[in-house]
Homo-oligomer: A and B are copies of this chain.
Amino acid sequence: MKTVVIRNIDRADAVAIKRLGVLGTATVHEAYGRAGLMKPYLRPVWAGGEAAGAAVTVLVHPGDNWMIHVAVEQCRPGDILVVGCSADCTDGMFGDLLATSLKARGVTGLVIDAGCRDVKSLREMGFPVWSKAISAKGTVKATLGAVNIPVVCAGVNVEPGDAVIADDDGVVVVARKYAGEVAARAEKRHADEEAKRKQLASGALGLDMYNMREPLAKAGLVYLDEPETD
């Protein structure tokens, strides 16, 4: 019942995706109400990579990357490929040949809840990948999965077309329809943070800037000049 490829999906607004990408995962995650963050075991295979795109989703099975080949055809410029796996797997399901193909189609990156290989080439190509493992382990092409159905990847349910933002801090997913709204909120948050950064850099204390002293005292925090002796 799930061995399907959905061809036409609605994608999050391309401009909103770009705005989100500029802001980064930490700010977007906060602006989205602290939602949508993938588990931190997903890590960039090379440091400094950043990507933002509309999700094309893939469901694969352990040891088998057949559906990633199928998914390539469904990608458009500005997409990001998101691969979920039906069980834990560290095999290197993705490498530089698939990356070459995705890059040729304008795909911005890959997020995979499994392993990746050819990381040196990927770094040289500048194609960013977030994966659970790095492994040279090859896979077979024998079992069907699906493309563009909702897929759980590293703890987040990703719908086709959702906005996906990824950087050194991880991967965050914003539901398609909220992309614009969250971008606006994230931009406001970013502006606020810039002001705070300046204050903090000049020596102001967060305790004062955020008015924490009173709630801390109310919650029962006590300041002592010395540790209590027994």
Report A's interface with B, CB cutoff 8 A. Answer: 1-8, 24-26, 29-30, 33-35, 37, 39-40, 43, 46-48, 61-64, 66, 69-70, 72-73, 86-92, 95-98, 100-101, 103-105, 115, 117-120, 133-138, 140-144, 148-150, 152, 155-157, 167-170, 172, 177-178, 193, 196-197, 200-207, 210, 212, 216, 219-227, 230
Contacts of A133 in B (CB 8 A): 40
Decide if B26 touches A118 in the complex (CB within 8 Å): yes
Decide if B86 touches A5 in the complex (CB within 8 Å): no
Contacts of A24 in B (CB 8 A): 120
A100 to B202, CA, bound (A): 9
Among B26, B91, B207, B210, the residue within 8 A (CB) of A87 is B91
Decide if B40 touches A62 in the complex (CB within 8 Å): no
Contacts of A224 in B (CB 8 A): 4-7
A17: shortest Cβ distance to chain B, in Å? 17
This chain's copy number in the assembly: 6
A222: shortest Cβ distance to chain B, in Å? 5
Contacts of A97 in B (CB 8 A): 193, 196-197, 200, 206
Contacts of A170 in B (CB 8 A): 134-136
Decide if A89 touches B86 in the complex (CB within 8 Å): no
A178 (CB) vs chain B CBs: closest residue: B1
Contacts of A140 in B (CB 8 A): 61, 142-143
Decide if A225 touches B70 in the complex (CB within 8 Å): no
Decide if A136 touches B207 in the complex (CB within 8 Å): no
- Seed contacts A89-B89, A92-B169; 18 additional CB < 8 Å A-B pairs: A3-B219, A6-B226, A6-B227, A26-B92, A29-B138, A34-B86, A37-B135, A39-B87, A69-B206, A87-B89, A88-B88, A100-B201, A104-B202, A136-B169, A142-B143, A144-B216, A144-B220, A144-B221
Contacts of A212 in B (CB 8 A): 66, 69-70, 141
